[in-house]
Structures are given as C-alpha cells and as structure tokens.
Chains A and B, each alone.
Chain A
Amino acid sequence: MAPTHTTTASPAAAPDTAVPPLAEVSGWGHYPVLLGRQFRSEDLARVTARARLSRGLGRAYGDAALPAAPDDLVATTTLADRLLAFDPSSGRLRAEAGLSVRALNRWSMPRGWFTPVTPGTQFVTLGGMVAADVHGKNHHRNGCFGNHVTALTLRVADGRIIECSDEHEPELFRATLGGMGLTGHILEVEFQLERIPSPWIWGESERCDSLDVLLARLKEAGERWPFTVCWVDCLNAPPRLGRGTLMCGRWAEPGEAPATPPAPKAALAVPFFLPDWFLHPWQVKLFNRLNYWKHGARVRRGIEHPESFFYPLDVVLDWNRLYGRRGFTQYQAVLPADEDPSVPRRFLELLHRHGASVFLCVMKDCGAQGKGMLSFPRPGVSFALDLPVRGAATQALVDVLDEFVIAAGGRVYLAKDAFTRAENFRRMESRLATFAQVRRRWDPDGHLRSAQSVRVFGDKP
C-alpha cells in the first residue's frame, strides 16, 4: 500500500505592508546593476498587488526585468510554480507564471509532451517566455511561444485580475505577448503542449567554410528539419569570416531512441566572478578556432540528449560570471535577407571592422512574424552576439550596429538589449505606437514600468 501523508504547509505570511530590503539586482549580462526591492512569495496575486514590475529567473540579459527606480517594488515569481490544470487528451496546460522550463520539461517529457517552443536556456519562467514572446530553434516551423498560448491571467495596473485570450480582451492579449511585462503582471499561462515520439533528439551537424554556404545550408535545412541553428565564427577576416557549424535536429522515433529516458544533466558552476581580462580577445579567437576545427569535416549524425541539444550552455551554471564584474551584453537582431542577400555578410563585416570581440555568435533563420504586438522575430536571419561591456566603446558599437539594422529594416530583441537608444528603437519599430496606445488604455498613470521601459519607451523616470 502506498504511504499516506498529511502535510500542514503555508508558513505565516509577512504582513502586506512589509518592504523588502534594498539589494543589487541585475540581468543575466550583469549590466546594468541597479538597486531594487524584490518581493518573493508563493502567492503571486498577493505580491503583485503593489509591485510595478514582475521578474522571473532574471535571464533577460539587460534591464528588461530591472526596476525603473529603487523603490519600485519588483514581484519575483519563481516560487509560484504550480500546475493548475492539464487535459491529457489535448495537451493543454495551465500553470502559474513562475514555473520554469526546467521544471516543466521534467514533468512533461516522461508523459510524452514538450513545450512547443523553448528558448536556449531552461532557466526561464513561463511568465518570462510570454513577456519576451520567446522563440527557439524551431521558429521557422512553430513561430514564437505566444502562438501557442491560449489564455493568460493578468493583474493589470488598476489592480483588477483579468483573463485574456484571442476571444476575450484580444488587444490586451496580443500586447502582452512580447510586451515585456508592461501591460500587466502575468499570473497564469495556459498553452498548448506538443506530443513527442520520444524524449531524445536525432541530430545532424555539419561544418561550413563560409557564410554563404552556411546561409544556404541553413535555408535548405529549415525545409526538412524542425530544429535548426548555426554557430558562427565572426573573428576571422573575410573570406573566412562567418564560417561555422550548422546543427539540425528532430525528435527521435521510438525505434531510434535509447530505451531509457535521458537522465537530467549534472551542471558545473562558475563559483565567482572571474577577472575582467579572463575572456581576452586572443582566447576568444582560440575558442572559436577550436570550436570550428573540433567538429571535423564530415557530417555528424546521432542521438543527442535533449538538454545538450536545446540548452548547451546550461551545463555551466552562472557562466555569465566568465565575463567578469563589468558584465556583457547580447546583441540580437533580425535582418530581412530576402531582397538583399548580402545583408548578413555586410553585418558581420561591419562587426569585424569595429574589432568586436564576439565570444559566441549564434545565427538562426526566422519565419513569419508572430501575433504578439511587439514580438521580436520577423522573416529573415537573426544574429545573437555576446559582447563584453566596455563602457562607452560598447555603446558606440551598439549605435553602429543599430544604424545598420535600421537601414536593413530589421529590429533588436528587447529581452537581450541593454544599450539601444529610444530614438533608434522607434526607427526600428513601426508597431510601437499601437503598443503604446494599448498600454495607455490599461495603464493611464504609467504604474507598470521597468528600467528598460524608461530607457527605450520613454516612460517617466
């Protein structure tokens, strides 16, 4: 007989007037570092009552999940992680916004389901996935996460709790997908899971010795594979600039997959911030060379662990500390390339001319624009570049890159951004006025805001 238990839980709560202490808070890039008051509780409806911003696992790189002012309360959602409803016939799941993708996967994979879209780390919450309308290696096939969200429960600025979907308050719903948490606190997320034939990945990867080959192979692969991504070496002079590795994958069929389920991967941790000189340009160059050569010339095929395939960087916890205390930023932009196929090459050449020391560069192809009002992807090629923060030089580099992106008709990803200027973002984003209108309707007093919304959207500081 299974043991039976009775549990008494719920510790006495702190009174609602309590003010959390001031503490340093930053995004994943550790730039900027600001002071803030974070309020964490299992009860999201309670902690969001006074908060002006919600924050999940803090994986946005820049200032998207940072308070605009030290006294703006921030509701940290990570303790609110309950599964609320699941229909095993349709795969529709409703859960609290603090549920992480890691916890979700560990629950859903043994049951034969997987999130229809996953970003490149499992340390993100459902709320964060909605706020950034994340995309993954399957964007060309499945679009953004928001395309699979069926309903949201929000606490809007006036304190009401509102259920929204395509049918009910559709405008608020679409503005919240990719709305960086500025339309309301996301309390619950209902979305559609996808059936998987096995919990393993069948992967294939190949090395390409130039950007043109890599781009052509990426486009072809997108027609056959649900998951595609490229790692690009952008430290070599042309013509080797932009060579790299193309990685493709699909869920393995039961016949191909190992009989045992994949064991959770153990992770190493970077225990402290390394000195700022640690990722020196020559080391970065060496890492990229080794990464290129170690693949070998032939095509590699085989079964891959889903965590290594989707979340290769998660095996090192706190890897952001490799960049030292000065931090780093990720510049991610999508560039339309159909009319002018030279755009990606010219983008990397620009980067090379400015001597940017890019440790890691990831390239993806993006499919159709999602239904999120401010959702990042649009048809084209997306580049994500990790850049160490070096003060004014970094701002100058981002300004140059932004000019290129504007001229090319592309846009940057707010979940990563820490440097783009308000006027430049406006020039990239024709949808901004519509989004601002929806925000004004639901939040006329500008209650909900973040350090990023002050910097990029011109909210009152």
Chain B
Amino acid sequence: MGRALARLMAERGDTLFLLGRDAAQLARSATDLELRGAAGSVGTATCDLLGPESFAPALAAAAAALVGFDTVVVTAGAFATQDALEADREQRRQLLTANFTNTIEFCELARQRLLDQGGGTLCVFGSVAGERGRKPVILYGAAKAGLSHYLEGLDHKFRARGLRTVLVKPGFVKTGMTADLPPPPFAGEPEAVARAVLRAIDKGTPEVFVPGIWRWIMLVIRLLPRAVMRRIEF
C-alpha cells in the first residue's frame, strides 16, 4: 500500500523521500517513483522498525534532502497469524515492539519535527483489527488498537498547533503482507485504497477506513454483544 500511495504522489509531482530496511530495494523504488513523475530526485535512507536507533538519523536525512517535509506516512508494520504469535514468544515480542512501541517512538520523533516547523500531516496505517478484540487477531489487533488511541490523542492535543493526524484503517487489502491469506469478500486493491488514503491526507481526515465499506462492517462488529463475539470466529 505504501508503494501504491507513493506512486500516486509521484504521478502528481510531489517531492518524496523513502525510508525502509533494504537500501538496494529502496534505490529501485526511488527510480520507479522518479520515472513516474516525482519532482527532483527521490532520496532514501535505511530505517528499521526493529532498530529504533535508526529513526532519528533517517528523519534527519529526509529533512535535509527535502529541506523540511510537510507529511510523514508510516505504512511499515509486521504481520503474523494469531496461531504463530501464540506459539512463538520471540515473534510475539518482535511484532508487539515493532507495531506498537517502536512505531510510536518513530511517530514521536516525526511529530516533534512537524511541530517545530509549524505543523504538517502525520499519516499512520493502523488496521480494522484494532477496532475490537477478535479471536483471529488478538495480539496484532491489540497493538493496532494502542496505536489508534495514540494517534487520536495526538489529534486532540496538537491539532490546534497545526498537526494533522490521519489514521488509516485498512480492512483486507491484497498486498504482500496478506499474500498467504485467502482474500475475504470486500478485499481491496492497493491502488484504490491508496487513492482513498491520499484524499484523506489532502483533506486531513483524522480517520479513514479503506475500502470504505469496512467502516460499516466494523460498526456492526463493535455493536455485537460479547456473548456473540465468543461464539463467532470473525
């Protein structure tokens, strides 16, 4: 989804800087975005959600290359099935650290930079899994729920000072992360999802469900009584 979103930004001529784990892959993605119309050259820096010491230098590199930035998009995150996470303590620790503790640490640094320069947009990818405790995504969902509260809090506290937060809540989207899972009904394509996210970034919508139908699906799920949630496998 990050790739699809960055391509839309490139196509309209935005200036971009990429952060990610693999320098060689980043360089290839940067060329792709330049060929699709990104303004100037697309810079890159390595940054790993499991290595929080990489955050500050990466953001500094981005700020230097872009001469300040007005939007930060965080699409990174790990995924594993509930069964795998229950079975493997190390994988569980890593996923919770990457998706919750370290993502928030990264956002804190980004938030400070944005506020220091008078405001901007912080867009973070949460998940519909964070909407309610559900059997198939208990641990993954718990981290995303925490992230969701964090971003809402930022919105309440800093919006008046110019920080706009956009929390994206994807339902099922056919990406590399979900490649091993059978797509359910209402599965979204990355390109369509990216268009909705870009609209939300431009407008500063604090919360966006993608595809949109998931807002209503999750509304129903939130309203279900516990007795029902215990019995269903959703």
A20: chain B residues within 8 A (beta carbon): 179-180
B69: chain A residues within 8 A (beta carbon): 4-6
Within 8 A of A (CB), among B76-109: 76-80, 94-95, 98, 106
Contacts A5-B16, A8-B75, A82-B28 given: A14-B180 contact, CB under 8 Å? yes
Per-residue A-contact encoding for B23-41, CB less than 8 Å = 1, 0 else = 0011011011001100100
In angstroms, Cα B85 to Cα A393, docked, is 51
A7 touches B78 (CB 8 A): no
Question: Which residue among B15, B59, B68, B176 has the maximum number of chain A CB atoms within 10 Å of its CB?
Answer: B176
B3 touches A9 (CB 8 A): yes
Partner of B66, one of A4, A8, A21: A4
**Does A11 make an interface contact (CB < 8 A)?**
yes
In angstroms, Cα B179 to Cα A20, docked, is 9
| Beta-carbon nearest neighbor of B2 in chain A | A9
Per-residue B-contact encoding for A1-18, CB less than 8 Å = 1, 0 else = 011111111111010001
**Does B192 make an interface contact (CB < 8 A)?**
no
B35: chain A residues within 8 A (beta carbon): 83, 85-86, 107
A: interface residue count bin: 20 to 34
B71 touches A5 (CB 8 A): yes
Partner of B14, one of A2, A40, A82: A2
Distance between B71 CB and nearest chain A CB, rounded to angstroms: 5
**Does A291 make an interface contact (CB < 8 A)?**
no
Question: Which residue among A2, A11, A76, A85 has the maximum number of chain B CB atoms within 10 Å of its CB?
Answer: A11
Partner of B31, one of A9, A76, A85: A85
Contacts A2-B15, A4-B14 given: A82-B72 contact, CB under 8 Å? no
| Beta-carbon nearest neighbor of A95 in chain B | B32
A6 touches B19 (CB 8 A): yes
Report how many residues on chain B are interfacial, defined by Cβ distance under 8 Å: 55
B17: chain A residues within 8 A (beta carbon): 4-7
Partner of B73, one of A7, A38, A39, A85: A7
Within 8 A of B (CB), among A38-89: 38-43, 76, 79, 82-86
Chain-A contact segment, one of B5-13, B146-154, B158-166, B219-227:
B5-13
B32 touches A10 (CB 8 A): no
A83 touches B71 (CB 8 A): no
Contacts A4-B15, A18-B180, A23-B182 given: A10-B21 contact, CB under 8 Å? yes
A9: chain B residues within 8 A (beta carbon): 2-3, 6, 18-20, 29, 75-76
| Beta-carbon nearest neighbor of A40 in chain B | B179
Distance between A66 CB and nearest chain B CB, rounded to angstroms: 18
**Does B208 make an interface contact (CB < 8 A)?**
no
B62: chain A residues within 8 A (beta carbon): 6
A3 touches B19 (CB 8 A): no
Contacts A8-B76, A9-B20, A82-B29 given: A42-B14 contact, CB under 8 Å? no
A6: chain B residues within 8 A (beta carbon): 16-19, 59, 62, 66, 69, 71-73
B76 touches A2 (CB 8 A): no
In angstroms, Cα B16 to Cα A4, docked, is 6
In angstroms, Cα B175 to Cα A14, docked, is 13
Contacts A7-B16, A12-B98 given: A83-B36 contact, CB under 8 Å? yes
Distance between B30 CB and nearest chain A CB, rounded to angstroms: 10
B2 touches A82 (CB 8 A): no
A11 touches B32 (CB 8 A): no
A7: chain B residues within 8 A (beta carbon): 2, 5-6, 16-19, 72-73, 75
A85: chain B residues within 8 A (beta carbon): 31, 35
Q: List 28 contacting pairs A-B, 8 Å CB cutoff, sorted by A.
A: A2-B15, A2-B39, A3-B14, A4-B15, A4-B17, A4-B70, A5-B69, A5-B71, A6-B17, A8-B19, A8-B49, A8-B74, A8-B75, A9-B29, A10-B25, A11-B77, A12-B76, A12-B79, A20-B180, A23-B182, A38-B179, A40-B179, A41-B179, A79-B176, A82-B32, A83-B36, A84-B28, A84-B32
Top 8 nearest A-B pairs (CB, nearest first) are A40-B179, A9-B2, A12-B78, A82-B32, A10-B20, A8-B19, A6-B62, A4-B66
Interface residue ranges, B against A (CB under 8 Å): 2-3, 5-6, 9, 13-22, 25-26, 28-29, 31-32, 35-36, 39, 47, 49-50, 58-59, 62, 66-80, 94-95, 98, 106, 175-177, 179-180, 182
